[in-house]
Structure 1
Amino acid sequence: MSRLRVVIADDHPVVRTGMRALLSRDESFEIVGESSTVPETVRVVAEEQPSVLVLDLTMAGRSSLPSIPDLLAASPGTRILILTMQEDPAFARAALRIGAAGYLLKEAAAEELLGAARQVAQGGTYLQPAMGARLAVSDAGAPGADGDASLTARELQVLSLLALGHTNQEVARRLFVSVRTVETHRARVRDKLGTETRAELIAAARERGLLG
């Protein structure tokens, strides 16, 4: 049986060492790379084409969420498992919607991490049960949840970049699209969420866990 190739992305060396030791105990996993920043993670994933990327939600003060479409574009066969300390269900909702296959808190037991990595590698989705319960409660009580579901992965990415202060031209360069395309996505986000000002964009992005 071929081993599952894994890349570990976390900006804390101790955490990476611990995950490497844990995953290496299981012969079904092979650690093929590590990274500590978002740009480095994109590069390593593109080079290694891993089965699974274990991705911290925030690295070096930067949210990893907006990079998920880029990571999937760089390695379409890679399944992304978020491993984080962020307990807010908005982060889990945003991560899964934008392309992650799993969401797990760092407080999880070792066996749960191994099981989650296997499950996403096999094409499944994994959401930590405790987080799933919080997400269900949040969805039931959030009046804006239905409208949020209408945002596409690309629209979420554009929203996060705009909220971080990038201009339409800068967003276009980062996403390798035309300025007109960015303007179209921005107009759709504005219509769906009712955002007009930069402050409203930032608030909308923060509510969806896009700013780390």
Structure 2
Amino acid sequence: MRRPTILIADDHPVVRCGIRSLLADDRYDVVGEAADLEQTVALAGRHRPALLLLDLSFAGVSSLGVLPRVRTVSPDTRVLILTMHNDAASARDALAAGAHGFLRKEAAAGELVTAADALAAGGRYLDPSLGAALVARETRLDGALSGRERAVLALIADGLTNQQIAGELHLSVRTIEAQRASIKVKLGVSRRAELISCARRLRLTA
């Protein structure tokens, strides 16, 4: 039986070596190592690995932006994000971008094998410590907003300006501005893109 193939992408040689030593056994075949994002895409297209173990950050640049390119050159590759970041928001962003798993680099060696096994079997994997935090955050998010705030958020996500939202809801622009500020505080976000992401998770928009 052919072993699942793995591509390791990390800008630190020591990390790549450590991952290879853990996974290059009778169950997996490490077919390549990438030191930057362009090399990651190139090697993914060349080898079409079953798994891509991808560092979340390369020299301060998020790797999530290359996931669409990886899917284009190797549609069946499943992606496990490895990171030093210990926060649920990073995990949520990675999964939303198309990753199939998320694991902290501080995790035990056996957990990396468990995560790889899960993805190789067609499943997903989320670092247990972050999984609980992610569920808790989504639960808080769901009950954070009032009915009016949810209506405002839905219209923001639909691309309406404050003036247009005021017209739709028959409220003053100042009231909408106050509602918008309240929504940002309650959801812990600051940018419009983050508001739209929250609206989608709350199923307030397509």
The two structures have a TM-score, normalised by structure 1, of: 0.68
The SS at the match of 2:82 is strand
Map 1:21-36 onto structure 2 (within 5 A).
21-24=21-24, 26-36=25-35
| CA distance 1:32–1:90, change in 2 (3 Å) | same
How many matched pairs?
Answer: 162
The answer for the alignment partner of 1:192 in structure 2 is 157
Cα distance, 1:85–1:206 mapped onto 2, change above 3 Å = farther
Structure 2 gaps of 5+ residues are 146-154, 162-183, 198-206
Task: Provide structure 1 residue ranges, at least 5 long, that are not aligned to the other structure.
Answer: 147-189
1:60 positional shift? 2.0
Q: What's the secondary structure of 2:6's corresponding residue?
A: strand
Residue 203 in structure 1 maps to residue 191 in structure 2: yes
Once the two structures are superposed, residues 22-70 of structure 1 have per-residue CA deviations (whole angstroms, 9 ceiling, x without a partner) of 111x311111011111111111101110000000000122101121121
Bigger relative contact order, structure 1 or 2 (CA pairs below 8 A, ≥6 apart):
1
Which residue identity is paired with 1:6?
I
SS class of match (1:104):
strand
Asked if the contact 1:80–1:100 (Cα under 8 Å) also holds between the matched residues in 2, the reply is yes
Q: 1:202 and 1:68, CA in 2 relative to 1: closer, same or farther beyond 3 A? A: farther
Match of 2:90 in 1: 91
Determine the structure 2 residue equivalent to 1:68.
67
Where in structure 2 are the equivalents of 1:168-179 lying within 5 Å?
Answer: none
Determine the structure 2 residue equivalent to 1:109.
Answer: 108
Deviation at residue 195 of structure 1 after TM alignment:
9.2
Sequence identity percentage: 45
**How does 1:131-150 map onto structure 2 within 5 Å?**
131-142=130-141
Give the 5 Å matches for 1:154-173: none
Matched with 1:154 is none
Which residue identity lines up with residue 33 of structure 2 in the other structure?
A: E
**Pairwise CA RMSD:** 2.9
CA contact (8 A) 1:90 1:135 kept: yes
1:12 equivalent in structure 2: 12
Report what 2:77 is aligned to: 78
Q: CA separation of 1:49/1:202 partners in 2, compared to 1, >3 Å: closer, same or farther? A: farther
Paired residue type of 1:132 = G
Counterpart AA for 1:47 = R
Amino acid at match of 1:122: A
**1:171 aligned partner:** none
Distance 1:84 1:136 in 2: 19
Shift in Å at residue 203 of structure 1?
Answer: 3.4
- Which secondary structure state, in structure 1, belongs to the residue aligned with residue 33 of structure 2? strand
Kindly state the Cα deviation for residue 142 of structure 1 after the two structures are TM-superposed: 2.9
> 2:2 maps to which residue?
2
Partner-residue secondary structure (3-state), 1:31:
strand
Retained in 2: the 8 A contact 1:10–1:37?
A: yes
What is the TM-score when the length of structure 2 is the normalising length? 0.70
Structure 2 residue matching 1:91: 3-state secondary structure: helix
Contact 1:57 1:84 in 2 (8 A): yes
Q: Which amino acid aligns with 2:10?
A: D
Q: CA deviation at 1:145?
A: 9.3
